[in-house]
Amino acid sequence: MTRALDVARIRADFPLLRRLENGKRLVYLDSAATSQKPECVIQAIVDYYRETNANVHRGAYTLAVRATEAYEAARAAVARFVNAWSPEGVVFTRGTTEAINLVAGSYGRANVSRGDTVVVTAMDHHSNLVPWQILCQERGATLRMVEITEDGRIDLSDFGAALERGPKIVAFPYVSNALGTVNPAAQLVKLAHAAGAVAVVDGAQSSPHLGVDLQALDCDFYALSGHKMLGPMGSGALVAKPELLDAMPPYHGGGEMIARVWDDHATYNKIPHKFEAGTPNVEGAVGLAAAIAYLEGIGMDRIAEHERALAAQALDRLSRLEGMVLYGPRDHRAGIVTFNYLDIHPHDLATVVDQEGVCIRAGHHCAQPLLRRLNAAATARASFYLYNDSDDIDALVGALEKAAAIFGNVTA
């Protein structure tokens, strides 16, 4: 039994959550899109520019050494946070999207040829789908999409069938951004390896919300976004097995990623720098490290438990509303609740609840193939984080009842 979170105290750490929106307390239920930032992260970025800013891995002077140390300390923090194989396996990127593009563009191009197969799932969001589409189109390879079950889980028998093709790469999300499903990631990785594939895990929604242990998970590549886990936008990482990174060709060319450069060719730096061409987002890395320290101070197990409880409570409250359609599984889910209410279009819902200060997402959640399978053009989504509590669920339910009143409570 974990100790419950003191949400009032946590909320006080987030300047934006102290604001009023449309005259009401801001009820932020869109953390799956991006999280709010605690004061310590904002301060870390400010302090970096006030006290540490210089280009990294270049200057001989003390300030540059300090900036480099801060940047590399952030790398070590990311490695520790997800129990990576080593800090050398942590490549800073702009986020999950760039991390997956890096794997597709470097590992994929080097290892996928005509006639090969890449496996993705119908619950992948566009950033873990479109890079593989581009790769397969370029290489003449086949993209095989694994179906989902009616209650929104990866269909394991179809997953098995896809593996029979002997794919080179298997990519899937740890947690679905549109359904909240927590996938049996370790099992999927094991199956992918048995079929001879490398496993790419999209960690955009798991890194902020679950304790992630990559050495136990044993995947080959793992992508995360800093901005969804209290860090700055434009921060993130690809975490990979170092020996795989080492064997991969560079992704972007430029400064920092090189060792020696001649007129017509160059040799490359060692990992992870081989994949970090140009001046990196040091501010982002430093802010992400501050976010990790904040999350670790609270404890990922407590955060995960808090969100599981909130999601269960939200599912229970929403399911009592007549005309409510809930998507995704009842259990094995993170703090994401996706729904449609009466015949009110999600955009109308989002506009109405916004007037009550409640921020929810409406639309296709960057997962159009999934929405097609749900037979929904759009859905509404409420997603929770450590700063949400049952008052926020009350506010959501109250705002939905207001929407029902405006739209005359009509059922389709």
Please list the active-site residues: 366
d(CA 308, CA 180): 10
State the residues that interact with other proteins by CB under 8 A: 22-23, 344-348, 351-352, 355, 362-364, 371, 377-378, 406-408, 410
Nearer to other proteins among residue 60 and residue 412 (C-beta): 412
How many angstroms separate the most distant Cα atoms in the chain?
A: 72
Dig out the tokens for 309 from the structure. 């409880």
C-alpha gyration radius of the chain: 22
Q: How far is the CB of 353 from other proteins (least distance, A)?
A: 10
Give 126 or 193: the residue with its C-beta nearer to other proteins. Answer: 126
Residue in this structure with the two tokens 């409880």, named with its chain if needed:
309
Shortest distance in whole angstroms from residue 343 CB to other proteins: 9
**Type of residue at 76:** A
What are the phi and psi torsion angles at 303 (to 5°)? Answer: -65, -45
State the burial class of residue 292 (Cβ atoms within 10 Å of its Cβ: 0-12, 13-18, 19+): buried
What's the closest the beta carbon of residue 154 comes to other proteins, in angstroms?
A: 24
Amino acid, single-letter form, for residue 271: I
* Nearer of residues 8 and 406 to other proteins, judged by Cβ: 406
In whole angstroms, give the CA distance from residue 16 to residue 9.
14
CA 129 to the chain's CA centroid: 14
Look up tokens 């975490």; give the residue.
Answer: 239
CB nearer other proteins, residue 279 or residue 409: 409
Cβ(283)–Cβ(232) under 8 Å?
yes
The distance of closest approach from Cβ of residue 377 to other proteins in the complex, given in angstroms and rounded to an integer, is: 4
- Whichever of 4 and 410 has its CB closer to other proteins, that residue is 410
| Distance, CA of 256 to CA of 261 (rounded, Å) | 11
* Cα distance between residue 90 and residue 203, in whole Å: 14
Nearer to other proteins, 149 or 351 (CB): 351
- The pair of three-digit structure tokens given for residue 394, joined into one six-digit string: 């009350």
Q: Find the shortest distance in angstroms from Cβ 122 to other proteins.
A: 18
Peptide bond between residue 272 and the one before it cis (omega within 30 degrees of 0): yes
Task: State whether residue 377 is helix, strand or coil.
Answer: coil
Helix H or strand E encompassing 25: strand 24-25
- Tokens representing 8 are 């009032």
Task: State which residue, 11 or 365, has the beta carbon closest to other proteins.
Answer: 365
**Closer residue to other proteins, CB minimum distance, 57 or 345:** 345
Q: Supply 226's token pair.
A: 């800093």
Q: How far is CA 126 from CA 75, 100, 149, 220, 258, in A?
A: 27, 11, 19, 20, 31
CB of 349 to other proteins, least distance (A): 9
Cβ 392 to other proteins, closest distance in Å?
20
d(CA 78, CA 330): 31
Residues in the chain, total: 412
C-alpha 62/C-alpha 198 separation (Å) is 42
- What is the nearest approach in angstroms of other proteins to the Cβ of residue 380? 12
- What are the backbone angles phi and psi of residue 170, rounded to the nearest 5°? -125, 120
